Homo-oligomer: A and B are copies of this chain.
């Protein structure tokens, strides 16, 4: 287990682990936000979820979409679309031996941008706030991908 210990002791890898965990927890928060809106707005997708509101027609009216629920769901999907590439490319980037300060800059901008993206989406803030925060995270991932491919391209 000596290798594992050294792997986990590399500062770049520790930083990757910390920021990845934080941004994944942020993404998981979207499930709770969606559930909160579903319950306060009484808007569900599955008949079995509305059983506590009565039977038959009385329950059926809660099988509907709600703008706040849909907004939270779009934010969640946007997280998936952007955080999955960050985790995959970020792991390879962390293993490519970047300078600690450069790596920290990448991770911090990405995680900050995604947190701001969620705030901009849920408030909602006027555009282009959400667009710019999306772009910042996107650019960080492209920059890490560039370094991974430059360090060791093997086709």
Contacts and interface: CB of A to CB of B under 8 A. Distances in A.
Contacts of A15: 154-155
Contacts of A121: 46
Contacts of A11: 154
Given A14-B152, A18-B154, 17 more contacts: A1-B97, A8-B97, A8-B151, A9-B152, A11-B154, A14-B154, A15-B154, A17-B154, A20-B89, A21-B92, A21-B145, A24-B145, A25-B142, A45-B74, A49-B127, A80-B84, A83-B84
A138 interface: yes
A27 interface: yes
From DSSP, what is the main secondary structure of chain A's interface residues?
Answer: helix
A22 B24 CA distance: 21
Interface residues of A, number: 68
Contacts of A20: 88-89, 92
Given A3-B3, A3-B6, A81-B31, A18 B71 contact: no
A99 interface: no
Nearest to A34: B81
A153 B15 CA distance: 7
